[in-house]
């Protein structure tokens, strides 16, 4: 049985329950399966199903698997009622005594809910049964809080019961990073400092903070996106080949990457980390608010909505190679992609005809949207001389499958049911990521002279970020120059 704390919330309605429906339609759920939503909203089973029906295409057979208990997850006294309700549903539906507890709740409840469940006798694992806990981000707000949270949880849970979810790792194209690297002989020999000039990771959003200003102002782009999602992608890009495809083997290699991050000194933070905040502008005739004008955002806020970083991985494979990461809101398009820039040829034979020739090839791995892979290389332009033009060879996931790619939550929920933690973050990797970003956060908090650059909505962030990348001929890859180029997103 799946128990969702926050069962009446937005995540449950938009992502979790629809993902379960798709798993059911693919016959991937157990034959006897039930979902118990838990929350403060006073629903009955029937009114709960009615509320969710619109997100489930009115699938009446699946709706019968949904139940609801109105209770306060922060009140220890209510957990006796929860235990009775679980026993009642298990007996009625013959689901057995194995449970997944999904905590789609505010982080302050992450420690109290497991403790209350333990006191109610709901987390002990008898022979043939199990209890697993899925935690949404944010998992801590800095290194100390993440470490304290881990230590508190491990007083009543074991590490193999804890599934720290990162929905980016559930995306098919993120998982394909492993296959692209380790199943193709043409890529792996080149995947190192001898052939790679630098690597870019971009995750841009077209929207602003919407109605999440209160939360976002406490987080910012560094905590909200870079510390978790983008560093996890970097881990997959930079890791060594695992000995086998298993949860521990893969996560051990990712941890080694995180432990190899070169710590930033205070003086380096100014030049290697650029932060920005979007300001009002007119885009395609529409007036867009600046961040400080958004709902629940203080008028003097110094929270970053954009961050670009230059960092290094000090190990044998990547020594001296820069990795550039950027993420932001109110940028020209919605896109997440990895760009591997290979070194130019050692001798520029064709510069007589084309000064831009031999700038190096690119491998572009698009994670969202228009998922796919693109290789960029030079060919001769027809006619006299040896003018060189870049052309592209591409693959799109949409050409491989019928319909849409599966949602990330489908894969992650199924993996948790099967006890596969490969795509979930482990305690040591979470803490290692926070150890790397902590000095940056502390520098921003303690030194108000570090610039917070303004950038107009609909642009690619502060100009200072454009000057980060080394080499006269290299720059960020711009999928679209402005919002008018491709509409909602840019094709690969």
> Across residues 239-247, what is the average pLDDT?
90
Q: Could you give the percent of the chain with pLDDT greater than 90?
A: 60
Predicted local distance difference test score (pLDDT) of residue 168: 82
Residue listed under structure tokens 């599966």: 406
| pLDDT reading at 350 higher than 70 | no
| pLDDT reading at 380 higher than 80 | no
CA dihedral 437, 408, 217, 328 (to 10 degrees): 70
In whole angstroms, how large is the CA radius of gyration of the chain? Answer: 24
Contact 330, 278 (CB under 8 A): yes
Predicted local distance difference test score (pLDDT) of residue 349: 61
Predicted local distance difference test score (pLDDT) of residue 170: 81
Domains, the chain, ranges and CATH?
A: 2-136 (3.40.50.720), 169-406+432-466 (3.30.360.10)
| pLDDT reading at 438 higher than 80 | yes
| Residue with the larger pLDDT of the pair 12 and 57 | 12
Predicted local distance difference test score (pLDDT) of residue 5: 96
| Residue with the larger pLDDT of the pair 101 and 168 | 101
Predicted local distance difference test score (pLDDT) of residue 483: 40
CA dihedral 362, 368, 372, 373 (to 10 degrees): 10
Question: Which stretches of 202-354 are DSSP H helices?
Answer: 213-221, 231-238, 247-259, 266-272
> Across residues 278-290, what is the average pLDDT?
90
Ranges 66-80, 132-146, 360-374: which has the least confidence: 360-374
Query: What digits encode the pLDDT tens for the residues 47-105?
Result: 999 999 988 887 888 999 999 999 999 999 999 999 999 999 998 888 888 999 999 99
Q: Could you give the percent of the chain with pLDDT greater than 70?
A: 90
Predicted local distance difference test score (pLDDT) of residue 385: 60
Predicted local distance difference test score (pLDDT) of residue 482: 44
Q: What pTM, to 2 d.p., does this model score?
A: 0.89
Annotated active-site positions, please? Answer: 229
Ranges 146-150, 246-250, 378-382: which has the least confidence: 378-382
Predicted local distance difference test score (pLDDT) of residue 486: 45
Q: Given pLDDT bands bounded at 50, 70 and 90, which one contains residue 488?
A: low
Query: What digits encode the pLDDT tens for the residues 406-433?
Result: 788 999 999 999 999 988 999 999 999 9
Predicted local distance difference test score (pLDDT) of residue 187: 87
Instruction: Specify burial of residue 74 (Cβ count, 10 A radius: 0-12, 13-18, 19+).
Output: middle
Strands 131-135 and 99-103: parallel
């Amino acid at each position: 049985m799946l128990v969702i704390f926050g069962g009446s919330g937005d995540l449950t309605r938009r992502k979790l329950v629809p993902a379960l429906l798709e798993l059911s339609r693919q016959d991937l759920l157990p034959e006897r399966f039930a979902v118990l939503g838990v929350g403060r909203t006073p629903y009955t089973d029937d009114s709960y199903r009615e509320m969710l029906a619109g997100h489930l295409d009115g699938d009446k057979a699946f709706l019968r698997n949904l139940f609801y208990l109105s209770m306060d997850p922060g009140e220890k006294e209510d957990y006796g009622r929860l235990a009775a309700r679980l026993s009642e549903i298990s007996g009625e539906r013959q689901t057995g005594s194995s449970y997944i507890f999904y905590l789609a709740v505010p982080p302050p409840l992450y420690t109290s809910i497991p403790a209350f469940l333990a006191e109610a006798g709901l987390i002990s694992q008898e022979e043939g049964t199990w209890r697993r806990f899925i935690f949404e981000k944010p998992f801590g707000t800095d290194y100390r809080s993440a470490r304290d949270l881990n230590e508190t949880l491990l007083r009543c849970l074991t590490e193999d019961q804890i599934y720290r979810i990162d929905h980016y790792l559930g995306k098919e194209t993120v998982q394909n990073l492993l296959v692209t690297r380790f199943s193709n002989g043409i890529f792996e020999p080149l995947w190192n400092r001898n052939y790679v000039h630098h690597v870019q990771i971009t995750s841009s959003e077209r929207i602003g903070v919407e109605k999440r200003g209160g939360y976002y102002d406490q987080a910012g782009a560094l905590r909200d996106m870079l510390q978790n999602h983008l560093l996890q992608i970097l881990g997959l890009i930079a890791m060594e080949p695992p000995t086998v495809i298993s949860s521990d083997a893969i996560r051990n290699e990712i941890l080694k990457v995180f432990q190899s991050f070169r710590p930033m000194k205070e003086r380096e933070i100014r030049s290697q980390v650029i932060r920005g905040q979007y300001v009002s502008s007119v885009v395609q005739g529409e007036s867009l608010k600046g961040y400080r004008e958004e709902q629940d955002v203080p008028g003097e806020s110094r929270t970053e909505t954009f961050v670009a970083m230059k960092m290094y991985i000090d190990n044998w494979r990547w020594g001296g190679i820069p990795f550039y990461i950027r993420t932001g809101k109110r940028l020209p398009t919605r896109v997440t992609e990895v760009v591997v820039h290979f070194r130019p040829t050692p001798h520029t034979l064709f510069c007589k005809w084309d000064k831009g020739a031999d700038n190096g090839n690119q491998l572009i791995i698009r994670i969202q949207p228009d998922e796919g892979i693109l290789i960029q290389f030079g060919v001769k332009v027809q006619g006299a001389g040896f003018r060189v033009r870049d052309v592209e060879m591409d693959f799109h996931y949409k050409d491989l499958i019928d319909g849409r790619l599966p949602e990330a939550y489908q894969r992650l929920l199924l993996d948790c049911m099967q006890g596969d933690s490969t795509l979930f973050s482990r305690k040591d990797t979470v803490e290692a990521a926070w150890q790397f970003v902590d000095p940056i956060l502390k520098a921003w908090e303690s030194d108000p002279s570090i610039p917070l650059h303004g950038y107009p909505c609909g642009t690619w962030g502060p100009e200072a970020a454009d000057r980060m990348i080394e080499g006269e001929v290299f720059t960020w890859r711009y999928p679209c120059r402005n919002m008018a180029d491709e509409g909602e997103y840019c094709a690969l």
